[in-house]
Amino acid sequence: MEDRTRRYACLAIGVGLILTGTFATGLLPSTTLYQVFAGGIIVLGFAVVWACLGSLDVE
């Protein structure tokens, strides 16, 4: 049960990062630095989700 909880928590963290980065693009100033930072958060979120799906053996 612990492994299953860890997998779902990993997916939730990834989705949370994607949502945070998406909201950040609208809330932060539209300067290049802030938009690159927000985009980096989104990319990190997708990387976490991809890693989690890899640990779930989803093909």
pLDDT score at 39:
96
Domain map of the chain by residue range? 8-55
Smallest CA-to-CA distance from 21 within 44, 54, 55, 50 is with 44
Six-digit token string for 34: 């802030």
How confident is the chain (59 residues) per 10-residue block, as mean pLDDT?
80 96 94 96 95 70
Question: How remote is the C-alpha of 48 from its chain's centroid?
Answer: 6
pTM to 2 decimals?
A: 0.83
pLDDT score at 7:
83
